[in-house]
Homo-oligomer: A and B are copies of this chain.
Amino acid sequence: MDLLMDRDALAAFLQRDFAEVAADFSVERVGTDGVDLRLRVGAGHLRPGGTVSGPSIFALADVAMYLAILSRIGPVALAVTTNASIDFMRKPAAGCDLIGKARLLKLGKTLAVGDVLVFSDGASDPVARAGLTYAIPPRRVEGS
C-alpha cells in the first residue's frame, strides 16, 4: 500500500487542476489511511448567521476524499463522485477553519469508497460525516 502522491504533490495538483478553489484548501496530512484537508473558511463559505454553508462542507468532504484516492492511484486518473451521503450534526464554530479527515475504505478497480469526518479546527465533536463513492475510469495501459 504505497503512496503515489505526497502532500506536496497533492497541493501542486490542486493548484494546477482546481485553480478556482485551490486557495480555499490546504493539505494538512497525507497517510496510507487517508488525508486531512483544511478548508480556509472565508466570507464566501458562510450562510446567514455566520455558519459555514452545507455546500462548502460538502466540497471539503468531496475534495478530501478525492485527494485520498489520488494519493494512492496517482494524478493520471479522473475519478468522478457517484454518490455522497452527508449527515450534518453540529453547527460549525464561528470564525474557525474546518478540517476534513478522509479515510479510504475501499480502492477497487472501478469503485473507490471512503468516509470523511469534518471538524471545526481544534474541536473533538464532528460537525458532519460523509460517505462517498467514486467511479474510477479504466486504467490506460502504459505507452498506449
Contacts and interface: CB of A to CB of B under 8 A. Distances in A.
Interface in A104-144: 105-106, 108, 110-111, 113, 115, 117, 125-126, 129, 131, 133, 135
A44 B35 CA distance: 26
A26 interface: no
Contacts of A117: 105
A108 B91 CA distance: 12
Interface in A19-56: 20, 44, 46-48, 53-56
Nearest to A46: B20
The range of chain A's interface size is 35 or more
Q: How many copies of this chain sit in the oligomeric assembly?
A: 4
B48 A59 contact: no
A56 B88 CA distance: 17
Interface in A46-87: 46-48, 53-56, 58-59, 62, 80-87
Contacts of A44: 20
Given A55-B62, A105-B125, A105-B129, 11 more contacts: A54-B62, A54-B84, A55-B59, A83-B85, A83-B87, A84-B88, A87-B131, A89-B105, A105-B126, A129-B131, A133-B133
